[in-house]
């Protein structure tokens, strides 16, 4: 036997020994299934930039596709929130708003344009969102969210994003979400000040734990004014929280709210603990 054939024989025996030491090979069928992309080509292209994030897996994208989210309010906060959630691929997106578009809305509500003046905001917003992402289902609810309909609106939703502009509505939505166990992102903006808070009912402090009493006189945007980009910052933070809650890719802002001074750009994270006597999330 030549030296080279002896060496080949040695390596062949070594390879055979190594193969015997390996566990049984994985069934071919399993490899084929698991290597199939979970998203189709169109989805891969549309969501490619968020899929590049190491945390944002195809499973995270599927979680969004399977999610039903209701955005309450299609105004200054609701416009960026709904646009980002539609763009990101939330599969079923509801928009509730009873107002009509006014020219004075347009500087801060970028889902509505001048020709939309007089149109229902929910319908105006839904029309733009369907252009933005035709692969998702967008539902318009041109109704005022109140005691009689709030439970029906939040039923079967995976997440509520409250973009309403009054303490009374925020308390109403918070109470309904706590009762139904539906996660919620709250936010508000007026003047140069905004805040954001995420809530997992029964697990983390709720909006009423943070703000138990409605202020006697909380100024509205119509009274105190607001700049469009200021509302855009808070709405973007709210959309970011919604994506975190839906995908599980980053820790949401729970048991705390973020207070943002949009003039100085100082940000304060205020810790909130659950109140045992909270009428919304307490043991009752
Ligand atoms: Zn509470």
The pLDDT tens digits of the residues spanning 89-119 come to: 999 999 999 999 999 999 999 999 999 999 9
In a domain, residue 16? The reply is no
What's the CA-to-centroid distance between 220 and ligand 1, angstroms? 24
For position 155, which CATH number holds? Answer: 3.40.50.720
Q: How far is the CA of 117 from the centre of ligand 1 (A)?
A: 39
Q: State the distance from the centre of ligand 1 to the C-alpha of 225, rounded, in angstroms.
A: 30
Separation between Cα atoms, residue 231 and residue 92, nearest integer Å? 24
Kindly give the distance from the C-alpha atom of residue 280 to the centroid of ligand 1, in angstroms, as a whole number: 5
Q: How far is the CA of 276 from the centre of ligand 1 (A)?
A: 8
Count of CB atoms situated within 10 Å of the CB of 19? 9
Ligand 1 midpoint to CA 272 (Å): 10
Question: How far apart are the C-alpha atoms of 156 and 216, rounded to whole Å?
Answer: 34
Those residues whose C-beta lies under 8 Å from the C-beta of residue 211, and which sit 6 or more positions away, are 167
Closest listed residue to residue 125, CA positions, set 143, 110, 137: 110
5 in a structural domain: no
Give the C-alpha separation, 65 to 274, whole Å.
Answer: 32
* 12 located within any domain: no
CB of 78 closer than 8 Å to CB of 71: yes
Residue 278 Cα to ligand 1 midpoint, Å, equals: 5
Angle made by CA atoms 245, 124, 226, in degrees to the nearest 5: 70
Rounded to the nearest whole angstrom, what is the distance from the C-alpha of residue 213 to the centroid of ligand 1?
Answer: 12
Could you tell me the distance, in angstroms and rounded to a whole number, from the CA of residue 9 to the centre of ligand 1? 74
Q: How far is the CA of 182 from the centre of ligand 1 (A)?
A: 13
**Residue 264 covered by a domain:** yes
Yes or no: say if 241 and 198 are a contact pair by the CB < 8 Å rule: yes
CA 166 to centroid of ligand 1, rounded, Å: 18
Q: Around Cβ 53, how many Cβ atoms within 10 Å?
A: 11
Give the list of residues 6+ apart from residue 233 with CB closer than 8 angstroms, or none: 194, 260, 262
The model's pTM is 0.86
Angle between helices 58-65 and 228-247 (to 10 degrees): 110
What is the helix (H) or strand (E) element at residue 137, kind and residue range? strand 137-141
pLDDT tens readout for residues 28-51: 444 444 567 799 999 999 999 999
CA distance 186 to 144: 17
**Rounded CA separation 278/153 (Å):** 23
Ligand 1 centre to CA of 282 (Å) is: 6
**pLDDT, one tens digit for every residue, the chain (284 residues):** 445 445 445 444 544 554 455 444 444 444 444 567 799 999 999 999 999 999 999 999 999 999 999 999 999 999 999 999 999 999 999 999 999 999 999 999 999 999 999 999 999 999 999 999 999 999 999 999 999 999 999 999 999 999 999 999 999 999 999 999 999 999 999 999 999 999 999 999 999 999 998 877 777 777 778 999 999 999 999 999 999 999 999 999 999 999 999 999 999 999 999 999 999 998 76
Q: Per DSSP, what are the bridge partners of residue 79?
A: none
> How many distinct structural domains can be found in the chain?
1
Q: What's the 125 CA to ligand 1 centre distance in angstroms?
A: 31
Ligand 1 centroid–CA 78 distance in Å is: 24
Residue 53 domain flag: yes
Specify the pLDDT at position 221. 72
Distance CA 201, CA 181 (A): 5
**What is d(CA 145, CA 175) in angstroms, rounded to the nearest whole number?**
13
- How many C-alpha atoms does 248 have within 13 Å on its Cβ side? 7
Distance 156 CA to ligand 1 centre (A): 21
Query: Is 265 within a domain?
Result: yes
11 located within any domain: no
Strands 193-199 and 92-96: unpaired
Q: How far apart are the CA of 173 and the centre of ligand 1, in A? A: 12
Whether 201 and 175 have beta carbons less than 8 Å apart is answered as: no
Q: Give the domain range for residue 192.
A: 42-271
Give a yes or no: residue 282 inside a domain. no
């Amino acid at each position: 036997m030549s030296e080279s054939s002896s060496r080949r024989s040695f390596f062949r025996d070594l390879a055979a020994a190594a193969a015997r030491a390996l566990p049984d090979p994985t069934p071919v069928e399993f490899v084929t299934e698991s290597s199939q992309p979970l998203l189709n080509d169109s989805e891969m292209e549309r969501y490619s930039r968020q899929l590049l994030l190491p945390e944002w897996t195809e499973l995270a994208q599927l979680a969004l596709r399977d999610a039903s989210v209701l955005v309450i309010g299609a105004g200054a906060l609701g416009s960026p929130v709904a646009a980002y959630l539609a763009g990101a691929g939330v599969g079923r997106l509801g928009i509730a708003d009873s107002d009509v578009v006014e020219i004075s809305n347009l500087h801060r509500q970028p889902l509505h344009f001048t020709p939309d003046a007089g149109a229902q905001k929910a319908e105006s917003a839904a029309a733009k969102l369907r252009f933005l992402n035709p692969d998702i289902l967008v539902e318009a609810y041109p109704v005022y969210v109140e005691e009689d309909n709030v439970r029906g609106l939040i039923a079967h939703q995976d997440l509520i994003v409250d973009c309403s502009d009054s303490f009374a509505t925020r308390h109403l939505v918070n109470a309904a979400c706590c009762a139904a166990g539906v996660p919620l992102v709250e936010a508000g903006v007026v003047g140069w000040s905004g805040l954001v808070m995420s809530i997992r009912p029964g697990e983390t402090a709720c909006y009423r734990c943070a703000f138990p009493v409605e202020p006697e006189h909380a100024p509205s945007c119509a009274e105190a004014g607001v700049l469009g980009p200021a509302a855009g910052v808070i709405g973007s933070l709210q959309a970011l929280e919604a994506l975190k809650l839906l995908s599980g890719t980053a820790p949401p802002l729970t048991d705390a709210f973020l207070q943002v001074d949009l003039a100085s750009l100082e940000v304060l994270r205020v810790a909130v603990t659950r109140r045992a006597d909270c009428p919304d999330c307490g043991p009752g």
